[in-house]
Structure 1
Amino acid sequence: MDNGTYSSGPDGNDKLLPFQRELDVARSAVRVAAKLSQHIINAKDQGGVMTKDDLTPVTLADFAIQALLSATIRAQFPGDRIVGEEDASQLRTDLLLLEHVYDLLRWATGHGDGPDAEARREAFPKDCRVPSSREHMCDLIDECGASVPGSTGRTWIFDPIDGTKTYVRGELYAINIALLVDGKQTLSVVGCPNLSIAPVAPLRDSHVHEKGTIAFAVKGSGAFVQSIGISSGTGPIRLRHLDPSLGLEHVRFVSCTTVGSALAGVNEEVARRIDPVAAAVEFPTCDLLPWVLRWVALARGLGNTTVWIYKSKERLGKIWDHAGAMLLFEETGGLVTDVLGKPIDLAAGRKMEANFGFVAAPPQLHGEVLRTAQAVVREMGREELLQGWPPS
């Protein structure tokens, strides 16, 4: 089994991996983002929740963290493309909101007087950056909000807050950074500011911990987890590979029962057919709203299978909810496809227009889970969901 610590060199530093500089920069940025997100949610305004045009919520943290991540990556890797969930349209029309977000970034860098500000200045990583002006902040956020991933070159993908609804409730959420090279997942860094270093199943959105973690992976080098604090005293831990002897009786689902984008009842029926005994006792094993955290839970071994079939062809995955985070599961031995069995195409656009839904499982079980999912869809009279992909 691949289970053990992420070894250190003779100077005590992390053993070098491919893309080590990118990994170091991304982990530094995630640590600052985690601290900033916790500062915001602990404030009286509870994150300043607003509603976007598509009726999904957005907070001060979404804007501030996307600005932090984009400024950092732009400074360190100026030739790379950056893609993020948010745009700056609300900031440009609401000057009070603009000022509030900019002040939060200044807070993160230690702007101001007093011992707390001085401590933040000393702690702010040398490889991190914030925008140099309000206009620069809006321009960076807008660049992320307008850019699309490419099939060539390097593209960074950001989800500043995955799980905004759970975040504002003080529950589990994630900060997602992915690096694609020529359209392929190459690096993943996921900040989980309130997920325990030793979570246990069953895991729910409300299972928060006072100390968070970072999960990360580099393609071909494994997946790891470590404390989000830089002074924790423990180095990264290599995540265990899936057991190749797992059978269908060992399938444990990671899913979400609190959102309405899935075809009603399909996930439960797939679980029942795979293992009726286990499904009758508990479905799902992990019930999590943030998609990024579902991939983390799979990589952490808290479950080993997920099936997600959208209720209409118009519902598509969003790249920032999956890019990089899927790599965590793949680097522990998992296989990820869409519901048609096709590989996930992350170069198709901001929305994942070349794929429909997700099936992820241990490789030796994936085929049976996929066939079961497709059979359930057909028996529910929704075979049209499996036809005509990609839509014209």
Structure 2
Amino acid sequence: MDSPLHHELTVALGLARQAALISQTVLSEFFLTQQKSEVDSLTKTDFSPVTVADFAIQALLAGALIQEFPDDALVGEESADELRDNPQLLQQVATVLKVADGWHARDESHVCDVIDLCTLEGQGKKRTWVFDPIDGTKTFLKGKQYAINIALLAEGKEGGREEVMSVVACPLLDWTLGTEGDGQAINDATVDKTGRGAVVYCVKGHGVFVEPLLNKTADEKPRQVPRHAEQVKTVDGLKSVTCWQSLDSGVDTLHERVAEQLGMDFPGSDLLGWVNRWVCLSLGLANTTVWVYKKRERKAKIWDHAGAMMLFREVGGKITDVDGKSIDLSQGRLLNQNFGFLAAPERVHGAVLEAVNEAMEQKGGR
């Protein structure tokens, strides 16, 4: 891809591959020593592989990006407080980092320092890197779909921050999905048996590309994704992706009612992680998602969406919240000015929004 951000994209793609290697190494070592019953009972707060992978990948991304782009700000999910309180966990994270070629810490204290760079807001900085080391922690622990999200934001023309580059690594997603308009529905258990995965990326205004994440051969060229959402002119062409009956933050019955009103098969593609859902939308495996939180006070986290949702815009999609407002990325770590999400092909976004409003009014949720 020929773009003004060629260097940034090259660096981010390399780091995405190194991050995927870390995640797969941690996961494979874990499965060699654990029983399935133990896997099912673990959470992100346990001394678990997702904890080790989260910290190690955030350290890799933060350390490498600040070294390469020292004038940029960083925003990530983790802080190093837990590591400082748990020397054994810190030692594990530092050991795992040696798998990667992208960046190496001077010592364990350095690991903590670079992770904590991501807790700052970066006021006064013109560009901000936002990343989620492991999106889909529950599915990661079970060897199912998860993603590594890397986004670059820059100052917008009218202030605030706008997405300018996205790189998403999906270590368990078949990179050929979405070719020739197959449009098949996928779920968290739809795992690429070859172990090559997919990396999906874009620079604003230059389209979306996908290629193998690991073990890419010299003759495999990046595949540009068609602007498929641009071709959808009526609600008859809508295909859903959601998270059905797996998260208690959304209103499942309302999402189902919207799909019924639009004549859309439901749930369609069913994925736990938001980043995977945005990838699914960008590849044409779906073209519509609606998410209404149970409570107005619930706010989305920037690292679950920034960059990844830009992939859908680059193929002709429109994204707002369920009130029809543009997504505001200038509010820090949380999307404080928005409630929920609505993504659909641009030409029918209004029709989907109308169906959402009607369903919310029927439920008394506006």
TM-score (norm 2): 0.89
How far the C-alpha of 1:151 sits from its partner, in A, is 8.2
CA distance in 1, matches of 2:250, 2:42: 25
Alignment match, 2:223: 237
Aligned 1:90-101 pairs, distance under 5 A: 90-101=82-93
Query: CA separation in 1, counterparts of 2:85 and 2:240?
Result: 43
Matched, 1:287 2:273: no
In 2, the alpha carbon distance for the partners of 1:83 and 1:368 equals 35
Whether 2:180 is the aligned partner of 1:197: answer: no
Q: Does 1:327 align with 2:310?
A: yes
Q: Which residue identity does 2:166 align to in structure 1?
A: S
Give 1:218's match in structure 2, choosing from 199, 203, 212.
Answer: 203
SS at match of 1:316: coil
Alpha-carbon distance in 1 for matches of 2:295, 2:124: 27
CA distance in 2, matches of 1:230, 1:244: 33
Identify the match of residue 326 of structure 2 among 329, 335, 343.
Answer: 343
- Structure 1 counterpart SS, 2:221: coil
Instruction: Provide the secondary structure at the position in 2 that maps to 1:155.
Output: strand
Aligned residue number for residue 185 of structure 1: 163
Secondary structure in structure 2 of the residue aligned to 1:82: strand
Give the aligned partner of residue 249 of structure 2: 261
Deviation at 1:254, TM superposition (A): 0.7
2:25 to 15, 20, 39: 39
2:2 maps to which residue? Answer: 16
Select 2:115's aligned residue among 122, 129, 141: 141
The alignment-based identity, stated in percent, is 42
User: Among residues 323, 326, 335, which one is paired with 1:352 in the alignment?
Assistant: 335
Cα offsets for 1:350-389 (capped at 9, x unmatched): 1110111111000110001011101111110112xxxxxx
Secondary structure of the residue that 1:349 maps to in structure 2?
A: coil
In the alignment, the residues of structure 2 paired with residue 313 and residue 217 of structure 1 have an alpha-carbon distance, to the nearest angstrom, of 32
The separation in 2 between residues aligned to 1:57 and 1:156, in whole angstroms, is 25
> What is the deviation of 1:231?
3.3
Equivalent residues, number? 343
Using the TM superposition, give the Cα deviation of residue 51 of structure 1 relative to its aligned residue in structure 2, in angstroms.
4.1
Secondary structure in structure 1 of the residue aligned to 2:231? coil
Q: Deviations over 1:34-79 (max 9, x none)?
A: 01100100013569955449xx995210000000000110110011
Q: Which amino acid aligns with 2:93?
A: V
5+ residue gaps, structure 1, are 1-14, 110-123, 384-392
Q: Aligned residue for 1:80?
A: 72
3-state DSSP class of the match of 1:360?
Answer: strand
1:249 aligns with one of 203, 213, 236: 236
| Cα deviation 1:162-185 (Å, max 9, x = unaligned) | 001000100010000000001100
> 1:234 is paired with a residue of what secondary structure?
coil
Partner SS state of residue 43, structure 1: helix
Distance 2:43 2:83 in 1: 11
Q: What is the rounded CA distance, in whole Å, between the counterparts of 1:29 and 1:188 in structure 2? A: 13
Match of 2:140 in 1: 167
Deviation, 1:150, is 5.4
Kept after mapping to 1: 8 A contact 2:45/2:51: no
Root-mean-square deviation over aligned CA pairs:
2.0
Shift of the 72–230 alpha-carbon distance from structure 1 to 2, 3 Å rule, reads: farther
Corresponding position: 1:153 with 2:126: yes
- Aligned partner of 1:328: which letter? L
> 2:45 & 2:342 partners in 1: Cα distance?
29
Q: Which amino acid aligns with 2:144?
A: E
Runs of 4+ in 1 over 6 A off after TM superposition: none
Shift of 1:204: 0.5
Equivalence for 1:104: 96
CA distance in 2, matches of 1:298, 1:338: 16
Q: Deviations over 1:113-169 (max 9, x none)?
A: xxxxxxxxxxx3xxx32322211110111221x223658610000100000100010
Tell me how far 1:246 sits from its aligned partner: 3.1
Measured in 2, the distance between the counterparts of 1:306 and 1:382 equals: 18
Q: C-alpha deviations, 1:79-131, integer Å up to 9, x for none?
A: 1000000111110001000101001112x14xxxxxxxxxxxxxx3xxx3232
